[in-house]
Structure 1
Amino acid sequence: MTIQDELASLLKNDVLIEIEDYIDELFEIIASKKEDERTKEELASMQEMREDFNDMLKDLAAGEIDEEEAKEIMEEINEMRKED
Structure 2
Amino acid sequence: MTIQEKLLNLVHNEVIPDVEDYLDELFELVASKKSDDKTKEEIKYMQEMRKEFQDLIDDLEAGEIDDEEAQEIIDEIIDMKSLEE
- Please state which band the TM-score falls in when normalised by the shorter chain: over 0.9
Q: Once the 2 structures are TM-superposed, how far is the Cα of residue 53 of structure 1 from its aligned partner?
A: 0.2
Residue of structure 2 equivalent to 1:31: 31
Cα distance in 2 for partners of 1:14, 1:73 equals 14
Identity %: 56
Q: Once the 2 structures are TM-superposed, how far is the Cα of residue 44 of structure 1 from its aligned partner?
A: 0.5
SS in 1 for 2:33: coil
Gaps of 5+ in 2: none
Cα distance in 2 for partners of 1:49, 1:41 equals 12
The alignment's TM-score, normalised by the length of structure 2, stands at: 0.97
Gaps of 5+ in 1: none
The alignment's TM-score, normalised by the length of structure 1, stands at: 0.99
Give the root-mean-square deviation of aligned CA atoms. 0.4
Q: Structure 1 stretches (4+) deviating beyond 3 angstroms? A: none
Find out whether 1:64 has 2:69 as its counterpart: no
Q: Once the 2 structures are TM-superposed, how far is the Cα of residue 4 of structure 1 from its aligned partner?
A: 0.2
Aligned residues: 84
Cα distance in 2 for partners of 1:64, 1:56 equals 9
Q: Deviations over 1:32-62 (max 9, x none)?
A: 0110111111111000000000000000000
